[in-house]
Every structure is written in structure tokens, then in C-alpha cells.
Structure 1
Amino acid sequence: MTKFEDKIQGYKKALGRGGSGSSWRKIGWGLFKKQEIVELRTKLATHRQNIILLLTLGNMLSDGVVQEFLNEARQNHMSIKVKLNEIYTAVRQPSPAIGYSRHHGVQLEDVLGSTMILPMELCSTWDKFDSVIKAHFRGRAGQQYVEGHAYKISAGGRGSIRPHSWERLVRKGMVLEMSIVLIDLKTQSLPCPRCHAHSCTVEVGDWLECQYCSGRYRVADADTFNAAERFYLGTCQYGWFRELSRSTEKLFRRIDLVLLRKPTGHPKSRIKQCDSVCPMIREEVELSATSWQQ
């Protein structure tokens, strides 16, 4: 278009309004330049069509890009909603306990009803476990019993685990229950050692649950003990008689109650009877027997 404008510069004055009106210029324009105008118009029309086509294609491509962007935005929106739902569910759920899980350690329910998970490294031997229990009960009800070894550990309510068999029996994932050992003299009636409510017939050796306080206790007859059990009873330095422990026994959730025969006769004879059961507790037996006779 610039080149064409340069070519017609000489004809502007003759052909424009107010021009000189030179007839030769007009004749020259009609003979030589009119065809060039037709060709220019054809070229401009072609270019115009091409531009319109390109603009149409551009708009179509833009619509596709926008649609693709919308689809991607919808997918991202759905992903965000799913993730937010997962976060909300995780927040609403109870937080897991900090520390070892039961499957990687040992779960212990102590005599006061507290439950804790102990790593296996602290339960690999009886001495380590005993040290942990003593530290756990420091300043708590039952401390004197624990320090005097007057407690037992059983696996899931089954038989007691003795110190000499600890390493052989205790494994990861076990549930251990702790009970306090109390010593009492045989009587006709045997109420619950925790709340003193009278219960039905007591079967020696079985765990019973008091209907009144929901405490659990098990009765053992010292006369039926073998040598190993008598020795274990002898290690219970604070396996106190119930007459000496009424103030704290009501706090214990599980109690192992050991029954001794009531000493009779002369004091020296009573001491011999106690020696036959457990030499380390004969002094307590005599004190309790005296209180019972009174």
C-alpha cells in the first residue's frame, strides 16, 4: 500500500477535488493505473479474508485452551476437597498415644487401674521390670507393697508369671495385669477384700469379680503351696495382713488374697506353725493371731 501511494503521488492534484483538471493526467490514470487499483483491491480482499480466518482460528484455539484450563481447575478443586476431607477426618479422630504401641512392647494394667505401654527393653528381665514398677509407684498408693515385692503379674488373667520364668514367658504384644498380695487368716466368711461386701461361695484359685465394687480378687490357700510358692511368699516382705492394710486395700483393683491357718496354742507353737508356711512373716502372723484372739 505504501508503494502504491508513492506511484499515485503525481495524480493526486489532477484527480482530487480542486485539482488542476489536467485531461492528460486523467487519461493516463484511466489507461495505466486503473488496473493496478483493481489488483490492489483484490489483494486487500484476499488479505482481509486471511485475517478473518486467522482470527476465527485464534478464537477457536483460545476457547479450547480456556476449556482445558477449566477442566484442570475442576480436577484440582476435587483433589483439594478430598484432601480437606481426609484432614478433617484425621483431626476428628482421637490422637494416637505417644510412645510404644502394644504390638512393639508390653501393655501393663497396674493395680490402681492405670494402663501403660512399656518398651520391651524395659521388660526383658524381671529385675528391669521390677525397677520400672518401683519407679512407677513412687509416691503413689501401694508403694510399700511394691517395694516389698508383695505384688504379682499375670498374663491376661491367667496364671501368675514368676520371676524365674519371666524371660521365658514374657513376649511383645502381651497384656499383663498386676495384683497386690494380701495375707489373711482363714475364717468361716470371706468378704471382698476391697469393699468387704459379702460374696457368694469363693472358689480357691479362681478370679472373682465383686458385684458391689467391681474389684477382682483371687483366693489362694497357703497350705496347698509347693516349695517354690512358699519361697515366693517369703519374699513378700510387705505382704501385709489385712488387719494392717485396711486403709489402702480399697484402692486396689486386683488382689491376691493368701489364706493362712489361724495359729493356735502356745506362742512358741504358733511360731512353729508360721515357720512351716513362711519364716519371713512369722512375726506378722503372731501379731495378727493375737489381734484375732482378742
Structure 2
Amino acid sequence: MASKERQRWLPLESNPESFNTWSHSASTRPLQDCYGLDAEVLGWVKQPVKVEWRLPSIYSRDPLVPITEAYEKARLEEDARIEEDGVEYVADIVYFKQTIANACGTFGLLHALANAGVPLEPGYLTKLCEQCKDKTPLERAQLLTATDELERVHTETASSGQTAASPSSNLILVYNIILLFLPTTNLPPQTPDLDTQVDLHFRTFVEHKGNLIELDGRRNSPINRGKITMNLLQDTAVTVKEIIELSNSLEFSLILLITLNPTPED
């Protein structure tokens, strides 16, 4: 059984450079910031952004969202409905129940890599994903807490961040977020605090069988947000706008996991 000290990790910064460091040993796919939710800004996303049609996902997206009273109320009400009605098209999703405080960044990236059809390089993460296939969400969480390599990578990534974690969702974060374009390159490094209570949270959106699936380790299961009518990028933007309106906060950051087609040689 994991020790008590292992149940709280340093919070990860919502920074694509940090997440690229984390995912380097497992995937060659780049992550990038998304600087807004309007159609014109979404058009700035690097193109082409697509994978082979047989893969279940085009993008995975890790939004950082504030945890407010309004959000928590809506979450609990939705969880109650899901408990009663169930969720369609999520039975074969790899979902991790988050049991480690401040580890939502790593759980978000695991949800992305495990469900986005992204080829992984041989290593501990490939082995971990294989072990998780036939497990329950809680059993997968137990595997994560027992994986020293995962904790090491998470801690090294968190320690290399450029900003200290915000303890309250009433503060504006000082790094690239969707609605405020604040640079990170000149910020002095901050020492992460293991005891900081962070009211910000990562969740992941992936496309699966034509549906927009939300993966949040704090929830009881994956959530089906409905059929994708445009594409994963645009449909997720609609959902994130609804979350922003509900939370009444500007503390949002969006990171994209993309697959770039190779440029044909002349």
C-alpha cells in the first residue's frame, strides 16, 4: 500500500512546455496552448491537426478550470443523474479515478494519452496502460500510486514550472490562459509547495465513437457530452464556454495534444 506521503503530489503548471517534458518519454506528439475559443482564434491551431480516420481521437484537450461553488453544485447534480441513468459509449474508455491530491495534471495527461490513439514509445507508461486495460478505475488508481517512475516524472515536471500554484480561484494566474495572454518566459522560477490547497483542476476531452467524452478523475465515471457535430476542437470550445459562464472566472487554460501529418517530400 502506498504511504500517506505519496497521496499528495506537487501541482503541475498549465504550461505546454511542462507537459511536453512530462510526455517526452511516452509520446512524440506535441502539446500547445489554445489562446481563445472564438472561431478565428481556433483557426490559429497548427494544421493539419488530424490522425488516421480509424483512430478514436483527433485531439485531446486538457483545460485547467477553477473549482467554484457553482461548479461543484452542478457537478454533484450531474453525478447524481449519471448514477441513476448511466452513461453511453464509455465502457471501453480508459478512465482513472483520481486518489492523489494535486495530481490532476498527470491524470489529465494520462487520460489523453490512453484514449487519443497516440502511439507510445516503449517504457513504463506503455506497460502501465497495458496493465490498466482490464482494471476498474479504482484499481487503475492503485497501480498509479504504486508506480515510482510516474511519481518521479510528475515531481520533476512540477518542480520545473515557472509559476507558483494559485491557492484560490479568485486570483488570476500568471501564465498563458485562454482569455488573458500573459507571457511566461520572463517569470522567475517558483518553488512548488506540497501543502498548497489548489482550487484549480485539469480535465480532458477526447473524441470516442463520434462522441465528445469528458474525463475528470474527480467524477464517478467518464461523461458523454453528446455527438460531435462540428469537430473535436470546436465542440469542446462550446462546452468550455459553458463551464466559463458557470464558473464566472477567467482562470482557464487550454492545452491541445495534436498530431501533425508529415510534410510530403518533393
Task: State the TM bucket, normalised to the shorter chain.
Answer: under 0.3
Query: Larger RCO: Structure 1 or Structure 2 (Cα < 8 Å, ≥ 6 residues apart)?
Result: 2
If the length of structure 1 is used for normalisation, what is the TM-score? 0.21
Q: Please state which structure has a larger fraction of its residues in helix.
A: 1
